[in-house]
Amino acid sequence: SQTIHQWPATLVQPVGSPLSLECTVEGTSNPNLYWYRQAAGRGLQLLFYSVGIGQISSEVPQNLSASRPQDRQFILSSKKLLLSDSGFYLCAWDRGYNSPLHFGNGTRLTVT
Amino acid sequence: KQEVTQIPAALSVPEGENLVLNCSFTDSAIYNLQWFRQDPGKGLTSLLLIQSSQREQTSGRLNASLDKSSGRSTLYIAASQPGDSATYLCAVRPSNDYKLSFGAGTTVTVRA
């Protein structure tokens, strides 16, 4: 069966510090990978998605970036965090348009 | 732009009562619709996926219907239990697009 791992579960970082969140999927190959952010009162916002190694599509211009160094690994990064980057970050995967979207347990990021 | 609405934002029911959750969307050109469950502080769990050609989908006590022409989907949960307490979100996938549009969710409380 397929599983998705996301870490860390919680993170408190000062403004201006770097960020690296990692997500890996097991039990499948060539998944589509997604990073979402969920903020109170704003719903789920798609940040990045990837349909293959090295291919990244950005949905929202901001100081975040994403990379896919391996088939089942997706990384969300920032060089300098802003207060507005606080939120709940969710990694997700699917096998294409016809398949359900599966989420990790999320990372609660607080920028202080 | 696709708009997805879930009304009400919250509801509370006694244990044993059937739950009816509503989802409406503005653009009927969808590929499929998904229902998710989210527990506090956790990621989303996929419950049901309905393709645009289907009218309904069932899994155990859950039944979801889709009326694409009127832009509506309904999630029925039979004989609700306290363990059904969670936030339920619907999401539509536009035709040939990786980006899902999410509703804000309905938070359900089942009273013992």
Residue A21: pLDDT over 70: yes
Tokens describing residue B84: 């059904």
Per-residue pLDDT at B6: 97
User: What digits encode the pLDDT tens for the residues B35-73?
Assistant: 999 999 999 999 999 999 999 999 999 999 999 999 999
Residue A47: pLDDT over 80: yes
Asked if B98's CB is within 8 angstroms of A32's CB, the reply is yes
Per-residue pLDDT at A1: 86
pLDDT band at B18 (very low <50, low <70, confident <90, very high): very high
Q: What percent of chain A has pLDDT over 70?
A: 98
SS (H, E, C) A20-77: EEEEEEECCCCCEEEEEEEECCCEEEEEEEEEECCEEEECCCCCEEEEEEECCEEEEE
Asked if B103's CB is within 8 angstroms of A43's CB, the reply is yes
Residue A41: pLDDT over 80: no
Phi/psi for B17 (5° steps) reads -75, 145
Query: Is the separation of the CB atoms in A50 and A33 below 8 Å?
Result: yes
B83-110: buried (b, 16+ CB within 10 Å) or exposed (e) per residue? ebbbbbbbbbbbeeebebbbbbbbbbeb
Chains A, B: CB pairs < 8 Å: 51
Per-residue pLDDT at A98: 87
Pairwise pLDDT comparison (A66 vs A98), residue with the higher score: A66
Phi/psi for A24 (5° steps) reads -135, 145
User: Considering chain B, what is the average pLDDT of its residues?
Assistant: 95
Alpha carbon of A15: minimum distance to chain B alpha carbons (Å): 23
Residue B28: pLDDT over 70: yes
Please calculate the CA angle A45-A51-A53 and round it to the nearest 5 degrees: 120
User: Considering chain A, what is the average pLDDT of its residues?
Assistant: 93
Query: Is the separation of the CB atoms in B48 and B75 below 8 Å?
Result: yes
**Nearest by CB: A104 against B43, B89, B93:** B43
User: What digits encode the pLDDT tens for the residues A81-96?
Assistant: 999 999 999 999 999 8
Per-residue pLDDT at A97: 85
Q: Which residues pair with A48 in a beta bridge?
A: A35, A58
Asked if A43's CB is within 8 angstroms of B104's CB, the reply is yes
Per-residue pLDDT at A33: 97
Cβ-Cβ contacts under 8 Å for B4 (sequence gap 6 or more) = B23, B24, B25, B26, B90, B91, B92, B101, B102, B103
Per-residue pLDDT at A61: 64
A96-106: buried (b, 16+ CB within 10 Å) or exposed (e) per residue? eeebbbbbbbb
Chain B residues with beta carbon closer than 8 angstroms to that of A105: 42-43
User: What digits encode the pLDDT tens for the residues A57-69?
Assistant: 998 867 999 999 9
